[in-house]
A and B are shown apart, each in its own frame.
Chain A
Amino acid sequence: MSDGAPATATQPRPSRAPEEVNPLVEGLERLPVHPTTLVIFGATGDLARRKLLPALYNLAHEGALPERFHLVGVSRSDMPHGDYREMAIDAVRQFSRREPDEKVLQELLDEIRYIPGSFDDADVYSKLSDTLDEFDEKTGQALNRAFYLSTAPAFFPVIVKALGDHGLQRHGDSDVRVIIEKPFGTYLEEARALNHEVLSVFDERQVFRIDHYLGKETVQNVLAFRFANGMFEPLWNRNYIDSVQITAAEDIGIGSRAGYYDSAGALRDLVQNHMLQLLCLLAMEPPVDFSADPVRDEKVKVLRAIDAPTPETVPHMAARAQYGPGVSGGDPVPGYLQEEGVPEDSNTETFAALRLHVDNWRWAGVPFYLRTGKRLARKATEIAVTLRPVPHLAFQQDGSLGVRPNTLVLMIQPNEGVSLSLGAKIPGTRMRIRPVQMEFLYGTSFLSQSPEAYERLIMDAMRGDATLFTRNDEVEAQWRVCDPIVRTWEQTAGPLPQYPAGSQGPDEVNALMLGDDRWRAL
């Protein structure tokens, strides 16, 4: 299989009789979701407790869950249904974004089932099958089934295979879906192998690979911003755009995640998935519509237009570093190697920066700079698009900051919005110019609170809408870019360059910039 080719082609959905239109859904904000049983593997884990169970509660609170909804937890911890129900109630009370309504909470979890056991234990799947059938019997219909794999990645192929072995990947005319958490592989080969395993049991249309970044309203707003406003499209190309910078900076360290983080690093943790997604949304061509495959087709085209790095080019287009001791928020903080649980000779990067080129008609010659890091000066996720300077300047620059190229910044967090820098005349008798900001702040213009990303994604998966999920060829195309960098870095001896905690990042990263380009201040 050549680089970038899908592991398995998207298979056409088996034909069904044309469905009658439901005239009652017109005008409703929340479209109905088919009655569903959701099975969470890893039901006692951190993600389930902190995100999934609270998300399900909030969906129930808002009346958004399917009218018939059942929940099953599967995990290794041995406990009866009642204990798991209590654990789930505690999790919702602790982590829900709103104070739970006790009646709704009790009703939601009243019939929750828990199946303890190892993920490779056939007995677990026999019990699961019986439980699913029991719910079907009770509701008098074949419910859709969604399997949420919220486990360590090593168990993904184990669970998928076992579901297939027990015939749980199909359920008559009802839909069966599998939702797979990140990371989807740690190398290109692993991602391909996992795709192969998953697609030997499920069709691609049944698979929902989560990148929770795509569930964030402000990330989706990048698409609205680009494709709902005519003024930007004429400028959105190499003729007017000089460079693009995508930043995902955090001011915190790794906290208690040393075990995960030291095996992953900044590139796998954020660049391979979230940041490449942002790049795709910024650079993609307009899809014919916003359904799953047209959107993902365009994203894949962008990823395939990026030159795959080689061991020879990696040192010139990628940089990495670790945070050292420093000061954050006025307090001294340890360096990465001093963090609890981190090996003292670790070569895991906490900062990664790349310079990528999207070699297509629209973007040829425009550098895309990506950087992410922990323990930086501030928390900020943004996409900054710098336009080319004006061709001729008729103004004096003396005594002012002067005319600078316009920069359009799509701010994703913490303050969501859009900012455009413009040149404006400084009041006075002379014609002096300085940059000013024109800002739109998302939070000041809408009444609705954004739903948690997981609420949106769980609903989309149950509804069968894969637009905000990553397709098999998309994951592999992401790894095609990142795998050579990961491997080159692994073969390069340490120690890594250090940057002081609380700083703007390592100086080494400046070498990636072309011409007069400079990293934006955080």
Chain B
Amino acid sequence: MSPTSDSVWSAQDTDPSAIDAALREMLAERHAESDAYVPARVLNLVCIVDRQWSGEIANRLRQVGRYHPSRTIVCAVEARRTRLDARAMLATDADPEADELAEIRETVIVELGEQHLPHLDTIVDPLVVTDLSTVVWAPHGHYRAVEAILHLTQVVLLDSVDEPELDEALDRAHGFSERAYVVDLAWLRSTPWRERIAATFDPPDQRPQLRHITGLHIRHHPDSGIAGLLLAGWLASRLGWQPSQLIDSGNRLSGRLGSSRGHVAIELVPTPQNVRGLVGITIEMAGGTSLSLDRGAGGLHAVLRQRDGSEREWTLLGASRGEAGILGEGIRQALLRDPTYQPALSAACVMAP
């Protein structure tokens, strides 16, 4: 839904106090116009982006559907800029109708230079709404700036798949996770897979099968090795497998993880597909049974192969959320807490070659 009823303020060579005052004045004006205009108060999102790519990030944020943060502060970084310019906007999805409310979302764009980044907290602190959770997202890698404001934030939003190097992605996520709650879009892409694997083994007569897993074959987008590692790390941490370093044989990662019944053979194989994340997984059980889940039309395509070679196929229904949906889910997850990510990440760190 495109926002309407914009109020806009802008200034050059400004400062955070002036921006904050402008926001308060615009809110008061809207409220005076109609008391049906009320500011949303969910969370602050601080985006640190390259100024030249800020339009692309703005587009991504526009597409997140209903999962908008209530106040978005975009820090658009330009290398040699020395002064602060800013724009502040209020927007609602629609004008209020009788007896209905119109929620106001606030966006502040601050254009700043690299020289401002070491003390970015002094710019951001006056602009965040007090007592709301603050999320920081730096999709263009301004991690020093993230460090500068980490003490103001509760949540770091990142996408480990964006990191070109697997070990750097793991180190980064692990480093942040020790000091803030991390919402990793690479992890959220695997949610339907985790839910379905959990559901498959949930019937009481299937739960003992979890102790008899002997092999994992994980297929992932060539750029999404970390998605495969996180899924393997999740299973290892949940099922008590002993993680160990995998071997990189060029076109795949493989190895064996210790389990209470011996070991689990694991293989991560890059597999072409047109979306990032996981492509499929095959879980092998002692006795020759295996379960495969692969992307398919209308959901995940499941195949259960019995020892005698017979197969059953079905579809696990679910619509693709798309990349915009994943980002929206990331923002929503900033209000929740998933206790299983960090153990999965720790196991993935051990398994990384």
A226 part of interface (Cβ distance < 8 Å):
no
CB contact between A25 and one of B66, B198, B338 (< 8 Å): that residue? B198
Question: For A414, what are the chain B residues with a Cβ–Cβ distance below 8 Å?
Answer: 99-100
Question: For A82, what are the chain B residues with a Cβ–Cβ distance below 8 Å?
Answer: none
Bound-state CA distance A23–B344 (Å) is: 13
A20 part of interface (Cβ distance < 8 Å):
yes
A398 part of interface (Cβ distance < 8 Å):
no
Q: How far in angstroms is the closest Cβ of chain B from A101?
A: 4
Question: For A27, what are the chain B residues with a Cβ–Cβ distance below 8 Å?
Answer: 338-341
Residue of B nearest to A417 (CB): B101
A516 part of interface (Cβ distance < 8 Å):
no
Question: For A21, what are the chain B residues with a Cβ–Cβ distance below 8 Å?
Answer: 207
Q: Say whether B312 contacts A139, CB under 8 Å.
A: yes
A19 part of interface (Cβ distance < 8 Å):
yes
Question: For B100, what are the chain A residues with a Cβ–Cβ distance below 8 Å?
Answer: 414-415
**Given A104-B299, A106-B298, A24-B194 contact (CB < 8 Å):** yes
B22 part of interface (Cβ distance < 8 Å):
no
Question: For A103, what are the chain B residues with a Cβ–Cβ distance below 8 Å?
Answer: 297-298, 319
| Per-residue interface assignment for chain B, residues 82 to 110, with 1 indicating a CB less than 8 Å from any chain A CB and 0 otherwise | 00000000000000000111010000000
Q: Say whether B38 contacts A19, CB under 8 Å.
A: no
Q: How far in angstroms is the closest Cβ of chain B from A37?
A: 13
Q: Say whether A60 contacts B317, CB under 8 Å.
A: yes
Q: Say whether A28 contacts B318, CB under 8 Å.
A: no
Q: Say whether A24 contacts B210, CB under 8 Å.
A: yes
Residue of A nearest to B238 (CB): A23
B314 part of interface (Cβ distance < 8 Å):
yes
Q: Say whether A104 contacts B319, CB under 8 Å.
A: yes
**Given A415-B100, A447-B42, A107-B297 contact (CB < 8 Å):** yes
Question: For A24, what are the chain B residues with a Cβ–Cβ distance below 8 Å?
Answer: 194, 197-198, 201-202, 210, 235, 238-239
B332 part of interface (Cβ distance < 8 Å):
yes
Q: Which of B39, B40, B299, B338 has the most CB of A within 10 A?
A: B299
A294 part of interface (Cβ distance < 8 Å):
no
| Per-residue interface assignment for chain B, residues 223 to 245, with 1 indicating a CB less than 8 Å from any chain A CB and 0 otherwise | 00000000000010011100000
Q: How far in angstroms is the closest Cβ of chain A from B42?
A: 6
Residue of B nearest to A68 (CB): B314
Q: Say whether B195 contacts A63, CB under 8 Å.
A: yes
A511 part of interface (Cβ distance < 8 Å):
no
Question: For A106, what are the chain B residues with a Cβ–Cβ distance below 8 Å?
Answer: 298
Bound-state CA distance A379–B97 (Å) is: 14
Bound-state CA distance A246–B39 (Å) is: 28
Bound-state CA distance A32–B319 (Å) is: 17
A311 part of interface (Cβ distance < 8 Å):
no
**Given A30-B195, A104-B317, A415-B99, A448-B332 contact (CB < 8 Å):** yes
Q: How far in angstroms is the closest Cβ of chain B from A484?
A: 36
**Given A444-B40, A446-B42, A449-B66, A25-B316 contact (CB < 8 Å):** no
Which residues, 16 to 46 on A, are CB-close (under 8 Å) to B? 19-30, 32-35
**Given A104-B299, A104-B317, A444-B41, A22-B202 contact (CB < 8 Å):** yes
Q: Say whether A107 contacts B312, CB under 8 Å.
A: no
How many of chain A's residues have a CB under 8 angstroms from any CB in B?
46
Q: Say whether B67 contacts A19, CB under 8 Å.
A: no
Bound-state CA distance A38–B106 (Å) is: 45
Question: For A62, what are the chain B residues with a Cβ–Cβ distance below 8 Å?
Answer: 318-319
**Given A19-B204, A444-B41, A63-B316 contact (CB < 8 Å):** yes
Q: Say whether A447 contacts B319, CB under 8 Å.
A: no
Q: Say whether B203 contacts A141, CB under 8 Å.
A: yes
Q: Which of B100, B199, B297, B319 has the most CB of A within 10 A?
A: B199
Q: How far in angstroms is the closest Cβ of chain A from B82?
A: 37
Q: Say whether B335 contacts A22, CB under 8 Å.
A: no
B192 part of interface (Cβ distance < 8 Å):
yes
B349 part of interface (Cβ distance < 8 Å):
no
Q: How far in angstroms is the closest Cβ of chain B from A15?
A: 14
Bound-state CA distance A27–B187 (Å) is: 12
A69 part of interface (Cβ distance < 8 Å):
yes
How many of chain B's residues have a CB under 8 angstroms from any CB in A?
54
Q: Which of B66, B195, B201 has the most CB of A within 10 A?
A: B195
Question: For B54, what are the chain A residues with a Cβ–Cβ distance below 8 Å?
Answer: none
Q: Say whether A67 contacts B200, CB under 8 Å.
A: yes
Q: Say whether A104 contacts B298, CB under 8 Å.
A: yes
**Given A101-B298, A103-B298, A444-B41, A108-B339 contact (CB < 8 Å):** no
Q: Say whether B335 contacts A108, CB under 8 Å.
A: no
Q: Which of A21, A24, A66, A101 has the most CB of B within 10 A?
A: A24
CB contact between A444 and one of B39, B195, B207 (< 8 Å): that residue? B39
| Per-residue interface assignment for chain B, residues 294 to 320, with 1 indicating a CB less than 8 Å from any chain A CB and 0 otherwise | 000111001010000000101111111
Residue of B nearest to A23 (CB): B238
Q: Say whether A447 contacts B199, CB under 8 Å.
A: no
Question: For B336, what are the chain A residues with a Cβ–Cβ distance below 8 Å?
Answer: 29
Q: How far in angstroms is the closest Cβ of chain A from B99?
A: 6
B279 part of interface (Cβ distance < 8 Å):
no
Q: How far in angstroms is the closest Cβ of chain B from A330?
A: 11
Which residues, 440 to 479 on A, are CB-close (under 8 Å) to B? 441, 443-449
B68 part of interface (Cβ distance < 8 Å):
yes
B331 part of interface (Cβ distance < 8 Å):
yes
Bound-state CA distance A415–B315 (Å) is: 39
Bound-state CA distance A414–B319 (Å) is: 30
**Given A101-B298, A447-B42, A447-B68, A25-B317 contact (CB < 8 Å):** no
Bound-state CA distance A513–B335 (Å) is: 44
Question: For B195, what are the chain A residues with a Cβ–Cβ distance below 8 Å?
Answer: 28, 30, 32, 63
Question: For B240, what are the chain A residues with a Cβ–Cβ distance below 8 Å?
Answer: 23
Residue of B nearest to A59 (CB): B317
Q: Say whether B318 contacts A441, CB under 8 Å.
A: no
Residue of A nearest to B197 (CB): A24
Residue of A nearest to B306 (CB): A140
B271 part of interface (Cβ distance < 8 Å):
no
| Per-residue interface assignment for chain A, residues 150 to 189, with 1 indicating a CB less than 8 Å from any chain B CB and 0 otherwise | 0000000000000000000000000000000000000000
B288 part of interface (Cβ distance < 8 Å):
no
Question: For A93, what are the chain B residues with a Cβ–Cβ distance below 8 Å?
Answer: none
A388 part of interface (Cβ distance < 8 Å):
no
Q: How far in angstroms is the closest Cβ of chain A from B324?
A: 14
CB contact between A447 and one of B192, B208, B320, B331 (< 8 Å): that residue? B331
Question: For A67, what are the chain B residues with a Cβ–Cβ distance below 8 Å?
Answer: 196, 199-200, 302, 314, 316
Q: Which of A27, A139, A447 has the most CB of B within 10 A?
A: A447
Which residues, 50 to 64 on A, are CB-close (under 8 Å) to B? 60-63
Bound-state CA distance A24–B234 (Å) is: 9
Question: For A25, what are the chain B residues with a Cβ–Cβ distance below 8 Å?
Answer: 198, 202
A357 part of interface (Cβ distance < 8 Å):
no
Q: Say whether B318 contacts A63, CB under 8 Å.
A: yes
B154 part of interface (Cβ distance < 8 Å):
no
Residues of A at the B interface (CB closer than 8 Å) are 19-30, 32-35, 60-63, 65-69, 101, 103-104, 106-108, 139-141, 378-379, 414-415, 441, 443-449
- Could you list some 14 contacts between A and B, CB below 8 A? A21-B207, A23-B239, A24-B198, A26-B340, A32-B195, A35-B203, A60-B318, A61-B317, A67-B314, A67-B316, A101-B298, A103-B297, A104-B299, A444-B103
> Given A61-B319, A444-B41, A446-B335, 16 more contacts at CB 8 Å?
A20-B204, A22-B210, A24-B238, A28-B194, A35-B203, A63-B192, A63-B299, A67-B196, A104-B318, A107-B297, A139-B314, A378-B99, A379-B99, A415-B101, A444-B39, A447-B335
Going nearest first, the 10 A-B pairs with the smallest beta carbon separation are A63-B318, A107-B298, A27-B340, A32-B199, A24-B198, A103-B298, A32-B202, A60-B317, A101-B319, A20-B207
